[in-house]
Structure 1
């Protein structure tokens, strides 16, 4: 699972770098990126949130309790999900202008960008169905403890997109403004992006069949136990609505910065790229752990083994922290260098990606509470408790929106979105504290808090010292002839290597036993 996720994320980085070279980080890129974000948001609103958090426990329960091993339940559930997604996708494509209006203002000054975003959205909104197809077949596999395919198939998506952006750069003159893009370029980007996701989703079907699932349309939904799934999912829907509302407001604030400085890379696209890079360690480490642990934790709750649930959460927190904590300090230390290495290519200069680097630094340390809170939430889902995550999301969303609004109103456009990145990180610090307190009450006992805090304290001390030393090395390299290698790769490689080696040495000196979880350090 980890290998598949790593390869997927690495190919995703290549794709993202090519995308940055093709579209830049300004207003033109924002039209595509906003349109490409909408299908994901609507998918989670329709059913994605329930798929990822509610339905695995339901599938595990059905496989354990139903005489046919849950086969009929799975078929009914897959049929219901695909019907909901098909209807929702058709409605979203029809209502594309109204959907985009939630994220952007359509004024005389912004009309061209608004219209281009709508055109992109009509190409990209069919992704809603394919996200759902991938999600439901992935959860069918997860319930059978088959995790690898869901981690590897996104590589296919990335390879297709790498080809799309390569063609865009190699065969067409890449435009720099909204008005310069041609219908052919729009079609290549829009149709190619949706095709990539469709191939990713369809490639899971053979794996599900090989695992024993037999797809069959079943519409006999009444009186078959699906009501429990729908009831559990309603709180997840409110959870997704809360997050979506907060994200929509932040998107509008970030788009305002793009409108004020359309060529400076200070708005939504830079924020999105920084957030995607920042969340990579969490996707590789924490999501992989959660995917494997959620069925196991659900079975522990079914068997009333709450102590085992607490032990799994503690072990997962401490093990993931070995990678998450140094990654967070690395973003703080090397944000601008990472941004230059990945995005300062072609027409995009180093100055245009500097705001992105600052956003990456602002997100930085927030990776620690973001990852830990994500993991702890799965403790509630193992209990089929979806109401508490919704209440927690309200607190996180309210904190994020209040701080983001303050940044939008009080900071100049150059720094407003960087402040919003810091606000997002801080909101998850608040969320982690609330989540830990509520989960402690829910499980009826301690979550091994002292041991977890002691481990994270040692990891943070080692990572902070190592990061400071790595930063000094990166900035202290002797002057030489200016080149892309000298200005980007060499400082990052020297500083990163220094930080990695020093972190391992310090963690061993501090007797962090969980360090053995890292490959090659057992």
Structure 2
């Protein structure tokens, strides 16, 4: 995430995912390595299929946004009840094993989902698809059950080592309540992959909201239970996430069959799953490294880091996940049909469009971090000290957004080639970079050092993936992305500066009585400032003839028809 593109990739406005090249190449016929993409053989666009992909993107984006919004409401409820305290720290420490396992492994784009899509997409019309689905679900459940037992037995010995300054009993209590989520994770991930294969996007995209709703209910009903109510709510939410996968799973007509003779697709599934799961686990080890180095920092530091990351993930999660869900099956088919030029073109457009949408939003967070955090969280047990901790982490994490987008889309190129080994190796190297970064930066910068090392690792990861992708499929045409990227970054910077000035001016001159009045004034100042900044950003992009505003406008018009 070089071969020049014919007529330039930017000669006509096209929606990412809304235009699909007509597949004309013979299966498995890849272009010669020396073949240039500067030829005039631009693929013909398939309008009907592109409209379907556009609708898929829109549906997934809307549902993912709804889930993210409910997730934000969940975080607000938790912070109001417990603030950045030992209660939240210990819950989140335990959640590293269970809740994060569900998000990373069972979520859209996770290893279970990606592996299931890679195998099911090629076999969904097979008469044995029901047997394949049943065996994949059964074997996944058995393996994760064994893993759950191992974690239960080893946790009392590992927790004091990984989190030396925490109360191991408190962490262990939360962990044991949530342990069944390990098993649920595989079922959720495979279910989402099956749903994706059979074009059932509604329920998988809505699933994360189930977890948030359950936690909100638990905190509101039993706040006096402290971390216990959070753990119970999280477990019930995971069960809800699995239940909403059932409509998609049933489309494959799963059969309970003997495991004595496995379907061929089962072996392919685990061949993909193994390296992908290990690669994701390495990413999880980065989090444990953070926890180890943060255990001596101020109480609530880990909670603050998580909340900062969640704020950034609000725009990133909606746009990147919405992009990845329809992209992976397309990448996979393009690779199978030898349409490597089409894959590269799709990659470039996807990255540019998400950059266009994400950069101004995260820049607004960087320009107005204090007001935004106060508006969302500062009430109840969440005080000014908590706000400053989140702002500190946010300031160092935001620059990673630019690279995060390209990294996640690049990873799907490798999955489309059924290559999960390369991301695994890069993740292993990133683990070393993360440990070194935390060790060097936590001393002088504290919490900010942990956040900064995360940004550095994201840059490293994206760079290595891009280098390896170039070796695998040839030039990605990155040069064509430089000018639009510079325009977007420059426009976002202007957007942020103007918004920061406007927000400060408005809040200084807008006075409303009472706490509610002050809350409304703060919200209005942020909203007006953001609207002004975003308007300037779009105007600058149009003035400099960037095509992405036209793409976004076209999408809105198409959705309105």
TM-score interval, smaller chain: 0.7 to 0.9
Gaps of 5+ in 1: 173-183
1:155 counterpart = 2:209: yes
**Displacement of 1:490 after TM fit?**
3.4
Which stretch of structure 1 is more off in the superposition, 3-12 or 478-487?
A: 478-487
Change in CA separation of 1:300 and 1:439 when aligned onto 2, cut-off 3 Å = same
Which stretch of structure 1 is more off in the superposition, 125-134 or 476-485?
A: 476-485
**Displacement of 1:135 after TM fit?**
1.0
Match in the other structure for 1:181: none
How far apart, in 1, do the equivalents of 2:255 and 2:306 lie? 36
Match in the other structure for 2:423: 389
Match in the other structure for 1:56: 117
How far apart, in 2, do the equivalents of 1:287 and 1:11 lie? 16
The 8 Å contact of residues 129 and 252 in structure 2, kept in 1 or not, is answered as no
Match in the other structure for 1:272: 306
Match in the other structure for 1:298: 332
Task: Provide the alpha-carbon RMSD of the alignment.
Answer: 2.4
How far apart, in 2, do the equivalents of 1:74 and 1:223 lie? 9
**Displacement of 1:226 after TM fit?**
2.8
Which of 374, 394, 403 aligns to 1:369? It is 403
Change in CA separation of 1:36 and 1:12 when aligned onto 2, cut-off 3 Å = same
Match in the other structure for 2:536: 502
How far apart, in 2, do the equivalents of 1:466 and 1:427 lie? 27
1:472 counterpart = 2:533: no
How far apart, in 1, do the equivalents of 2:527 and 2:161 lie? 42
1:73 counterpart = 2:102: no
Gaps of 5+ in 2: 1-59
1:420 counterpart = 2:450: yes
Change in CA separation of 1:241 and 1:197 when aligned onto 2, cut-off 3 Å = closer
1:199 counterpart = 2:260: no
Change in CA separation of 1:213 and 1:99 when aligned onto 2, cut-off 3 Å = farther
Match in the other structure for 1:125: 179
Match in the other structure for 1:116: 170
Which stretch of structure 1 is more off in the superposition, 94-103 or 456-465?
A: 94-103
How far apart, in 1, do the equivalents of 2:128 and 2:264 lie? 14
1:250 counterpart = 2:290: yes
Q: TM-score, normalised by structure 2?
A: 0.82
The aligned runs of 1:402-417 (5 Å cut-off) are: 402-408=436-442, 410-411=443-444, 415-417=445-447
Q: Deviations over 1:353-387 (max 9, x none)?
A: 11101211211121110111111110011001111
Match in the other structure for 1:430: 460
Match in the other structure for 1:176: none
Which stretch of structure 1 is more off in the superposition, 27-36 or 71-80?
A: 71-80
How far apart, in 2, do the equivalents of 1:45 and 1:489 lie? 33
Which of 268, 274, 283 aligns to 1:228? It is 268
**Displacement of 1:120 after TM fit?**
0.8
How far apart, in 2, do the equivalents of 1:62 and 1:120 lie? 41
How far apart, in 1, do the equivalents of 2:505 and 2:278 lie? 50
Which stretch of structure 1 is more off in the superposition, 74-83 or 160-169?
A: 160-169
How far apart, in 2, do the equivalents of 1:487 and 1:495 lie? 12
**Displacement of 1:40 after TM fit?**
3.9
Which of 207, 229, 239 aligns to 1:188? It is 229
Change in CA separation of 1:489 and 1:433 when aligned onto 2, cut-off 3 Å = same
The 8 Å contact of residues 25 and 353 in structure 1, kept in 2 or not, is answered as no
The 8 Å contact of residues 66 and 209 in structure 2, kept in 1 or not, is answered as yes
1:348 counterpart = 2:382: yes
How far apart, in 2, do the equivalents of 1:156 and 1:62 lie? 30
Give the number of the structure with larger relative contact order, counting CA–CA contacts within 8 Å between residues 6 or more apart.
2
Q: Deviations over 1:192-222 (max 9, x none)?
A: 221122112112113321x343353541344
How far apart, in 1, do the equivalents of 2:106 and 2:88 lie? 28
The 8 Å contact of residues 145 and 292 in structure 1, kept in 2 or not, is answered as no
How far apart, in 2, do the equivalents of 1:254 and 1:54 lie? 34
Number of residue equivalences = 490
How far apart, in 2, do the equivalents of 1:517 and 1:165 lie? 42
Change in CA separation of 1:215 and 1:227 when aligned onto 2, cut-off 3 Å = closer
The 8 Å contact of residues 105 and 186 in structure 2, kept in 1 or not, is answered as no
How far apart, in 2, do the equivalents of 1:138 and 1:47 lie? 8
How far apart, in 1, do the equivalents of 2:216 and 2:104 lie? 28
**Displacement of 1:328 after TM fit?**
2.5
Q: Deviations over 1:20-57 (max 9, x none)?
A: 11121122210011112211455689888531333321
